[in-house]
């Protein structure tokens, strides 16, 4: 016997995965995680017995519910490991976040609000709020448009995301170690959390140029072992505890930008090099770059002014982040916004073995 679960399969930014209404999943966390592992086909490198895409960028889940206390909807992001039976709800994902409002409308959790719908979304993982704007002519989500983002073919309707308060969202402080610079295994790093815990390192300090391809970096076993050693030390220093089985902090190599950019990055999430860069990882790397005293600031080209349009370069292109500096403290970032796109790929039911989840359905 198998059990069906209502599901929408969505692309959000440069990621994709299944989205569920919270009421359609178990309320017990352990049971919920077993269900998500079965849905995705984990643990298995190919995720052959599920709908995961055999890559960290395509082994992600969104769980959405009606909001409260000023939020229109709330969501929980789940990173499902391909390697072990692990569902991590510690981090956020700004790419999958781009699909939350389209999903909420498509699934009937909320109604569209005119030609353009803006909803306030609470990310339960980190307690952060964002205002997300999508095009909804005629009361339906519009997916066609002229917006283009690197890492996704073609063009689509824009999804505009403004983050309201991301500093220290996971670690409790923008610089959770209390320092702009720390040293692990003889390498100077900046530990920072502006929506995503990230350890920023100069590529040159690890014997890299910072312009290597994703495949070349993934094939460099010695480099990955060195990065993981630093990550395991940085985790407790960033108030994250033992991060052996966590997907944070992300590890970011930085170098001088090529023409037209402001910073070159190569991000590990955390063990494999990202083909692009995560949304909140880009926000956090850009924040480090505009902050004097960090390792990123040494190689960045920081644009002038209180509103900085900052291009974060990555293996497959660039990611533009708009940083608004604080009027009271001009050296601090007050707000970050960016452009993403999203699309509904499929909707229906996903099936899991019935013995994984028996009993009553959860509630909204």
Single out the residue of 274, 254, 253, 250 nearest to residue 263, CA to CA.
Answer: 254
Digit-coded pLDDT (tens) for 293-324: 999 999 999 999 999 999 999 999 999 999 99
pLDDT-based confidence at 73, cuts 50/70/90?
A: very high
151 within some domain: yes
195 within some domain: yes
SS3 261: coil
Same domain, yes or no: 37 and 154: yes
337 within some domain: no
303 within some domain: yes
Same domain, yes or no: 77 and 188: no
pLDDT-based confidence at 361, cuts 50/70/90?
A: very low
335 within some domain: no
- How many domains are contained in the chain? 2
SS3 72: coil
What letter would DSSP give residue 256?
P
Same domain, yes or no: 200 and 121: no
Q: Per-residue pLDDT for 266 more than 50?
A: yes
SS3 361: coil
CA distance 19 to 9: 6
Same domain, yes or no: 10 and 123: yes
Domain interval for residue 245 = 182-315
> Could you tell me whether strands 2-12 and 317-325 are parallel, antiparallel, or unpaired per DSSP bridges?
unpaired
Intra-chain end-to-end CA distance of the chain, in Å? 26
Single out the residue of 232, 317, 325, 223 nearest to residue 275, CA to CA.
Answer: 317
Q: What is the pLDDT of residue 171?
A: 96
SS3 assignment for 284-313: HHHHHHCCCCCHHHHHCCCCCCCEEEEEEE
Same domain, yes or no: 159 and 186: no
Arithmetic mean of pLDDT, 126-133: 94
Q: Per-residue pLDDT for 213 more than 60?
A: yes
Q: Per-residue pLDDT for 206 more than 70?
A: yes
pLDDT-based confidence at 182, cuts 50/70/90?
A: very high
Q: Per-residue pLDDT for 277 more than 80?
A: yes
User: How is 194-219 classified by DSSP, letter by letter?
Assistant: BSSEEEEEEGGGGT--S---HHHHHT
Same domain, yes or no: 7 and 150: yes
Q: What is the pLDDT of residue 331?
A: 86
Q: In which element (H, E) is residue 234 found?
A: helix 221-237
Digit-coded pLDDT (tens) for 192-204: 999 999 999 999 9
Arithmetic mean of pLDDT, 143-172: 94
> Could you tell me whether strands 73-80 and 116-123 are parallel, antiparallel, or unpaired per DSSP bridges?
parallel
Q: What is the pLDDT of residue 165?
A: 82
CATH number at residue 149: 3.10.310.10
Same domain, yes or no: 132 and 192: no
Same domain, yes or no: 105 and 189: no
Same domain, yes or no: 151 and 194: no
Same domain, yes or no: 120 and 196: no
CA distance 273 to 251: 9
Same domain, yes or no: 158 and 271: no
CA distance 210 to 203: 5
- Its pTM stands at 0.81
Digit-coded pLDDT (tens) for 319-354: 999 999 999 988 899 999 999 999 999 999 999 999
Single out the residue of 14, 91, 100 nearest to residue 318, CA to CA.
Answer: 14
Q: In which element (H, E) is residue 222 found?
A: helix 221-237
362 within some domain: no
pLDDT-based confidence at 359, cuts 50/70/90?
A: low
Q: Per-residue pLDDT for 360 more than 90?
A: no
Mean model confidence pLDDT for the chain: 95
Q: How far is CA 218 from the centre of its chain?
A: 20
Q: What is the pLDDT of residue 364?
A: 37
Q: What is the pLDDT of residue 330?
A: 87
323 within some domain: no
Q: What's the angle, vertex CA 281, arms to CA 107 and CA 259, rounded to 5? A: 120
What letter would DSSP give residue 273?
B
Same domain, yes or no: 136 and 26: yes
* Residue listed under structure tokens 């209390």: 178
264 within some domain: yes
């Amino acid at each position: 016997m198998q059990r069906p679960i209502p599901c929408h399969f969505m692309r959000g930014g440069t990621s994709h995965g299944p989205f569920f209404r919270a009421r359609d999943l178990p309320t017990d966390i352990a049971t919920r995680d077993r269900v998500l592992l079965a849905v995705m086909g984990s643990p298995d490198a190919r995720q052959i017995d599920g709908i995961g895409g055999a890559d960290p960028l395509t082994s992600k889940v969104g769980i959405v519910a009606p909001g409260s206390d000023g939020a229109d909807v709330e969501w929980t992001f789940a990173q499902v490991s391909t390697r072990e039976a692990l569902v991590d709800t510690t981090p956020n994902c700004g790419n999958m976040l781009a699909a939350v409002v389209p999903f909420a409308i498509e699934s009937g959790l909320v109604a569209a609000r005119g030609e353009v719908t803006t909803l306030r979304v609470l990310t339960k993982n980190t307690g952060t709020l964002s205002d997300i704007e999508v095009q909804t002519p005629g009361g339906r989500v519009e997916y066609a448009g002229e917006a283009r983002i690197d890492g996704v073919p073609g063009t689509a309707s824009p999804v505009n995301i403004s983050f309201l308060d991301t500093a220290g969202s996971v670690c409790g402080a923008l610089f959770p170690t209390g320092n702009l610079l720390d040293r692990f295994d003889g390498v100077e790093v900046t530990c920072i959390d502006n929506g995503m815990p990230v350890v920023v390192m100069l590529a040159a300090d690890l014997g890299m140029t910072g312009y290597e391809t994703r495949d070349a970096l993934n094939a460099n076993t010695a480099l990955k072992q060195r990065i993981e050693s630093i990550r395991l030390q940085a985790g407790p220093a960033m108030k994250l505890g033992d991060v052996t089985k966590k997907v944070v902090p992300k590890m970011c190599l930085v170098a001088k930008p090529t023409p037209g950019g402001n910073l070159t990055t190569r991000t590990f999430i955390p063990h494999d090099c990202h083909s692009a860069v995560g949304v909140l990882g880009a926000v956090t790397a850009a924040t480090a770059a505009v902050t004097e005293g960090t390792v990123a600031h040494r190689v960045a080209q920081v644009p002038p002014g209180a509103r900085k349009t900052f291009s974060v370069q990555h293996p497959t292109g660039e990611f533009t982040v708009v940083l608004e500096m604080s009027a009271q403290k001009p050296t601090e970032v007050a707000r970050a916004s960016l452009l993403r796109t999203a699309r509904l790929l499929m909707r229906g039911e996903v099936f899991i073995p019935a013995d994984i989840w028996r009993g009553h359905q959860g509630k909204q």
